[in-house]
Each structure stands twice: as C-alpha cells, then as structure tokens.
Amino acid sequence: MHQMTTSTEQIDSVTVQYRPILVYLPSFHGGIARYASQQAKELARRGEAVLVLATKALGLDEEKNLNVRENLLTTPRTRIRIINPVISTACILINQLLLVAYIVRYRPKLILFDGYSEMLAPLWVWPHLVLKETLGVRYAVTIHDPQRMRHRGPRWWHELSVWAAYLPFSIGMVHGLDDVKRSWVPRHIELVDVPHGIFFTSKNVRHDTVDLRSQLEIGATERVALFLGYIADRKNLDIAIRAIATLSNVHLVVAGRQASSRDRPVRFYMDIAGKLSVADRVHFFEKYIPDEEIDGFFSAADVILLTYKSNFVSQSGILHLAANWDKPVLASSGPGPLVETVRQYNLGVIVKPDSAAELAGGLRRVFATDYPPLGWDIFRREASWKENIDRLMATLAAQAAGTKNGCD
C-alpha cells in the first residue's frame, strides 16, 4: 500500500500539493486541448489539487486548486520538410521525459493524459510502467479515437505503438461503449462511458452578424453554412463545396487552418471552388480562430457542418462548441457518438457520409420551413463536465479500493 498523505512545497511562489492529480496536456489548440482543460478545471472546482503540465501556447490560466506549469515544448514548423519529423520526434520524447520528472517529484495519485496517442509509444512508455509499479500512480486517458484508423509508417510499427501506448493506463474514458473497437483496447483497461461536456465560450467580445455578412456580401435572404475548425481530409470539405455548388442561395464559410502536413492544403479546396464556379460563395478564413472571434462566425451561420467521412467514429468538439448558439447541425460520419448524439437530442440532420448529393439534400431539409424544434436545452443539461469527472473519480475510487483489498 502506498502512503497517501499530503504535503506542500513552494515553487515559483505557487504552492503545489504533494500527490496531486497531474494533467499531461501537450495539446494547445483544437478540441482535445479544450476538452482536457475543462476536465482540469472541473477537478479543481471540486477541491482536487490539480497540476497541469502544458505548453505556453495553451494559455491556461491558474485558478484555485489549479496550478499550471508551461514547460512542455511545441513542435515548430520549418520549411525544410526532411527536418520536421526529427524535430517532432525530439519534442515528443523531451515532453515525455519532463512528464516523468514531474511524476517522480510529485508522485501524483492520478495522471490524466489529454488524449490517447500512440505516436512513438514504444520509445517513451517504459518509464511509466516502472513508475506505475514503484510509486503506485494510476494512469487515465480519454480515448477520443478508439479504432486508430490513421497511422504513420509500416503496419507492424503502428500496431506495436497502439499496444505499447495503452500499457500504463488502467482507466479509459470513451463516448459510447457500444462504438469501441475493443480489439484495439486491451482488457486491463477499464472503459468508462463519459459525456463530452459543453465548450462554453465567452461572448463578451462579439462580432456583429450583420458586419460579417456585409463583409462577405451575403444577402439577408441567403443562407450560410459554417465549416469551423481544423481543415482535415476526414471532414469532407471537398464534398461540402460540391454540395454548395448545387444550391443557388447558400454560402459556405470555412474558418480554420490545415490540420497537418498530411492533410490537403487550403489551396486544394479553393481550387475546387474555382473550378465549380462558386468561389464567390465559398469564403475562406485560413487561420486558427481565437475564442474572441468565434461568436461572429456562429452568429452569422444558419447551419453548422460536421460532415465527416464514413471511417470517422469519434465525437466532434465543434458540436459541443455549437451548443452555445442553438443552430442546427448537418452531420455525417460512421456509426459512433457524433451521429448518435445528433439523433438522440435532435440537434439537426444526419446524412450518409461521403456524398455531395446527400449533403445537398440535408441542407434543403435544414432550411425547410417545417423543420422541427432543436433539443439544445436538454443536451446542455446532460452534457456535463461534472458528470464526466464524477464517473472518472468513481472508477478511480473503486480501483483504489480493489487494490487495498488485494483485488488489483
């Protein structure tokens, strides 16, 4: 049995509790970063001592019970492509070494990863296995993408990496147990079905809807479909543009930047819009959209596009951001929590993935005058960060009790 007494030490004028919950948060933009930040804040709100190991780019503010260390590295992009993988590998491994150092120093009772990732796991996982056994720390992670469809390198390396990355964890949080591809998730991990909470955002800095529409020369009777977030192949932006081309009074606003060097660049989609003669109705804002600008885009939109490919079986963070504006969504994906959530709470229209005709038909349904009321109010009540963390902590307590009783 490992002693669970607490003490504090003074570091950089901030008191950090011994055996805190340590949140490892190398992500700094996008849904995973928002998700893990909200988990950390909810843990702190309920009185847990929380230490977040993050990057400066995340910009997470300290609060009561929430201490932040901005020591992790971000991967800089260079114009020399051959160097970028080397830099990325170095950053991943250095960040893992920093995490190990923090674990040794504070001996956290729980280490919560921002999201499951198998990248280079055969190289960084082994110290965690030693710490798990010697210090009695527990590891938990949200498995945003249970099926691990995308991979780099040869198949054998991908499968080895997926297997290795799961080894330290005893708790895996998922959004819908029925959709988990269990063949990827080892039996030693206890899967916990948790809700994806709402990404509440400040509306103190507002962009007037009329200003955005007038800036884009969109008429009052014309419709606006919003595509917000990272521009990635899995989101079917090309198909969305083809669907818009079949509708005479619909504009598409694309707000985000290229997700990775492996995804098609924004120019690819601009060229499609030009070839289909809809460049005047497809508007690109090629940048990361900060919180203070998000309201302008959502307020101007009539529908939010979440048009994923058929091999996407996870949840969408944009859906939980859209909950602040009560706009209908048009969703497509493989079987999974995204389309199930939209269907369960009546948040919009679901169409078959990978089809411009289906997407165009879905837009016509959304814009129909007899469209039924949306269920955002119920969704907001049930998509709770409190419930998310309640289920995590209940599982952690049950596992700790099992260890004490010799059942682990």
pLDDT tens digits for range 21-71: 999 999 988 889 999 999 999 999 999 999 999 999 999 999 999 999 999
146: pLDDT strictly greater than 70: no
pLDDT band at 378 (very low <50, low <70, confident <90, very high): very high
Identify which of 1-5, 258-262, 342-346 has the greatest average pLDDT: 342-346
- DSSP category for residue 220: T
pLDDT score at 242 = 97
Per-residue pLDDT at 328 exceeds 90: yes
Residues 347-352, mean pLDDT to the nearest whole number: 95
- For the chain, the straight-line distance linking the first and the last C-alpha, in angstroms and rounded, comes to 12
Cα angle 89, 91, 96 (rounded to 5 degrees) comes to: 100
The full set of domains in the chain, from first to last, is 8-197+384-404 (3.40.50.2000), 209-382 (3.40.50.2000)
Mean per-residue pLDDT, 315-330: 92
Residue 284 has pLDDT above 80, yes or no: yes
Instruction: Tell me the pLDDT band of 5, cut-offs 50, 70 and 90.
Output: very low
> What Cα–Cα distance (Å) separates residue 100 from each residue in 104, 108, 269, 334?
6, 11, 42, 37
Of the pLDDT bands very low, low, confident and very high (cuts 50, 70, 90), residue 283 is very high
Beta bridge partners of 68: 52
> Average pLDDT, stretch 285-301?
89
Tell me what the pLDDT averaged over the chain comes to.
87
Predicted structure pTM score: 0.81
CA atoms lying within 13 Å on the CB side of residue 201: 24
Most confident option among 84-88, 94-98, 403-407? 94-98
**Per-residue model confidence as pLDDT tens digits over 125-142:** 999 999 999 999 999 999
Helices within 136-181 (DSSP H only): 155-166
Name which residue leads in pLDDT, 314 or 355. 355
CB 297 within 8 A of CB 316: no
According to DSSP, the β-strands at 50-54 and 66-69 are parallel
What are the tens digits of pLDDT across the range 190-220? 999 999 999 876 554 444 455 888 889 899 8
Q: How far apart are CA 9 and CA 396, in angstroms?
A: 25
Residue 1 binned pLDDT confidence (cut-offs 50, 70, 90): very low
pLDDT band (50, 70, 90) for residue 408? low
Q: At which residue do the structure tokens 């900060």 appear?
A: 290
Q: Specify the pairing of strand 190-193 against strand 171-174.
A: parallel
Residue type, 248: S
